[in-house]
Structure 1
Amino acid sequence: MEIEVRHARVVEMINATGSLSKAAMKIGIPQPSLSAQLRRIEKAVGGSLFVRTRNGVIPTPLGERVIPKLAALAEQADAVIAEAAVDTSGTLRFGTAEWTPPTLRSALRTMLPKIDMQTETILSADAVDKVQRGALGAAMVSGMGSVAPVRLRDRDLAKETIVRDPVWLALPVSHPLADHAVLSASQLDGLWWIGYAQQHWFSPVERHLLGALGRRDRRVSHYAGGHHEAMSWVRHVGAAALTPLTGATSDVRVVPLADTQYTELTLVWHRDALSSGTARRLVEIIRGFYYHYARSFPSYRSWLGDLPDGPPEVPDPSCWMPADSSCVS
């Protein structure tokens, strides 16, 4: 693992608070997740940065040498981001697949005040083409590895994964399985399902996941054109549906599956439309938004705390928005 700015910010917060629990609270993640991140950082630098005491943690001799350099790295990154945000102006046409929460647009406009943000809801399959043609400056695209990959064929385009998004089972809140902490494949017997229309990006992902669960043959009530339509059918007809967490709505219950698999949310942008500093800032803002959206689901918060090594590639904790920001739709 290479040391990145986000790692520097984590170490800086631990050093500033003198406590793993206080640092975790300020960042907004469970302490086990923060401890796992610190272990990975210490492995990368080749030794322990902190030693535990009765009153918290203090730097080791290695930490006394390394921590100031990491703090300087974080400070320089903040200065670059701030300068890019101040100097950037103009219009950015930004597309998101399937739905665009008004609160996401508000967050983007607040954090990039000099940019006239024009948002548009698009099909995920059209996103890369729209950015390539200049119809959009940037767009959010959903995909999953080799099953539904996000491919760029133009050197003028760039991309970065925002977050790996766990795929769980959506159920009506009153369903007998809705209060389970986790569901195994055998517990899915007898369910009625809401599927996804063939033209939707999630359809091949759904087939792949159902095959892994041994659920190729199932009783389907309806094939939905998108996640929010699927959630509406789950709520009204009492069926189940697979969904990335960001596709779920607050009026259904999402339950983790054993051996959870992940889709990816990817930001794609045209290099002529965004400077590198603005692109980096946009990545951070969107990560923060989707993190807070995911945290609005109690099952997600519990799931985070149960992961022994921390959440795999969840949004960068140094970029999460303040706890009092109204980012959740």
Structure 2
Amino acid sequence: MDLELRHLKTIRAIADAGSLTRAATALGLAQPALSAQLKRIERALGGALFTRGRFGVRPTALGELVLDRACVLLPAVRELQEEAVRFARAWEGMPRFRLGGTHGPLLGGLVDRLAKSHPQVAVTTRTSWSEREIAALVVEGRVDFALVGACGESPPPAADRLVWREIAVDPVFVMLGRDHPLAERREVELAELARESWTDVPGDGCFADCFAAVCARAGFTPVRVYETDTASCVHLVQVGRAVGLCRATFPPAPGVVTRPLAGAPLHWRHLVGWHPGSSAAGVAGPVVAQARAAHTEAAARSTSYTRWLADHPGFGATSPAAVG
């Protein structure tokens, strides 16, 4: 049997998991099948790669050698594949904008503006709750641009692989039902919401930790936080089951008002990213400009945000500046 890349991935998975049972689960295999595959690999390499004990498996000296080589070969092959995909995509005949984004109002605005300014160019989208997943699609050459957000000053995903430009910085607002006692306030103190349940969309950044930290500084721990899709967040606020966290550009919804939190304890940076070696790099400037214009339009549709921005000039759309 000749050694293949998939065999190196299997060896790496077993070492990472520390047991055949956990590795089989991660690889989607039955344990007997994985054990049989490992034996075939060990025969091909001339010796045992792991010693087995009551607490799992540990690599042998031969296993350490193979793992060291795998740590070099697997990333190199992955980078080769990514570069090949980017190269192939760059020479496709039909020009297009392939956009990836997390769920929010800016992606739709950017699609609309690109479609209007370049009617001859196809625009396609991919969405995910995961900023890291969207960034990975750009790294792999499957998406041209990523439109994502980062909490506070946290770095964007794949900062060492992609070029990022900041589009805007928004405060995080609170969504309240129109009948909520604080709905008529121009801004709300976070501590006044200490007894509320909260709702928010999921994500894989640090926002949940940042929210918990600002609540602790305000003297309370959230009663509960419902992580769900945007429509369900709005519904929970409408029926008075929770108050919501949202970006300041969140579009108006029936029965819901958005209000700034006093002191803007949380803020959100909107970012556009692309791979510097891709064909997308040549048109990144216009895409960044259109994304910034889409943000300006979204901000103008929010009366509460427009009013708030007049007194807080450090927020809103920003000038182009690399952050990664």
> One fold, TM greater than 0.5?
yes
Q: Distance in 2 between matches of 1:168 and 1:290?
A: 16
Aligned residue type for 2:177: P
Gaps of at least 5 residues in structure 1 are: 1-87, 319-329
Q: Contact 1:128 / 1:139 at 8 angstroms: preserved in 2? A: yes
User: CA separation of 1:247/1:226 partners in 2, compared to 1, >3 Å: closer, same or farther?
Assistant: farther
What amino acid maps onto 2:138 in structure 1? V
Q: Does 1:116 align with 2:122?
A: yes
Q: 1:154 Cα shift? A: 4.3
Amino acid at match of 1:284: A
How well do the aligned residues superpose, as a CA RMSD in angstroms? 2.9
- Of 114, 128, 135, which residue of structure 1 is paired with 2:135? 128
Correspondence for 1:92 among 88, 97, 101: 97
1:297 pairs with one of 297, 302, 305: 302
* 1:3-18 mapped onto 2 (5 Å cutoff): none
Of 183, 195, 204, the residue aligned with 2:188 is 183
Residues 111-120 or 287-296, more deviating: 111-120
User: TM-score, length-normalised on structure 1?
Assistant: 0.60
Structure 1 counterpart SS, 2:316:
coil
Give the letter aligned to residue 253 of structure 1.
Answer: V
User: What is the aligned counterpart of 1:150 among 156, 164, 172?
Assistant: 156
1:159 pairs with 148, 164, 185, which one?
A: 164
In the alignment, is the contact (CA less than 8 A) between 1:167 and 1:242 conserved in 2? yes
Aligned residues of 2:199 and 2:236 also touching (Cα < 8 A):
yes
Identity %: 23
What is the deviation of 1:127?
Answer: 1.4
1-side partners of 2:253 and 2:126: how far apart?
23
Counterpart of 2:244 (choices 241, 250, 258) is: 241
- Larger Rg computed on CA atoms: 2
Tell me by how many angstroms 1:125 deviates.
2.9
- Residue 273 and residue 118 in structure 1: after superposition, are their counterparts in 2 closer, same or farther (change >3 A)? farther
Q: 1:90 offset after TM fit, Å?
A: 0.8
The answer to whether 1:254 aligns with 2:261 is no
Task: State the partner residue of 2:144.
Answer: 137
Distance, in Å, in 2 between the alignment partners of 1:145 and 1:108 is 28
**2:102·2:134 contact (CA, 8 Å) conserved in 1?**
yes
Q: What is the count of residue pairs matched by the alignment?
A: 224
Contact 1:170 1:248 in 2 (8 A): no
| Distance change in 2, residues 1:202/1:229 (3 Å) | farther
Per mean C-alpha deviation after superposition, the further-off stretch among 243-252 and 289-298 is 243-252
In the alignment, which residue of structure 2 is the partner of 1:283?
Answer: 288
Preserved CA contact (<8 Å) 1:200 1:225 = no
Alignment map for 1:263-274 (pairs within 5 Å): 263-274=268-279
Distance 2:228 2:201 in 1: 6
Partner of 2:58: none
Give the deviation of 1:227 after TM superposition. 4.1
Checking the alignment, whether the CA contact within 8 Å between 2:215 and 2:222 is kept in structure 1 is: no
C-alpha contact (below 8 Å) 2:274/2:281 kept by paired residues: no
In structure 2, C-alpha distance between the alignment counterparts of 1:113 and 1:263, rounded to whole Å: 31
Q: Give distance in 2, aligned partners of 1:89 and 1:285.
A: 21
Cα distance between partner residues in 2 of 1:137 and 1:116: 12
Structure 2 residue identity aligned to 1:229: S
Give the direction of change, closer, same or farther, for the CA distance of 1:283–1:195 in structure 2 (3 Å limit): closer
Residues 102, 128 of structure 2: 8 Å contact kept: yes
Query: Deviations 1:199-242 (Å, cap 9, x if unpaired)?
Result: 57642332233233333x2322x522344432232123342122
Q: Cα gap change, 1:244/1:102 in structure 2, threshold over 3 Å: closer, same or farther?
A: closer
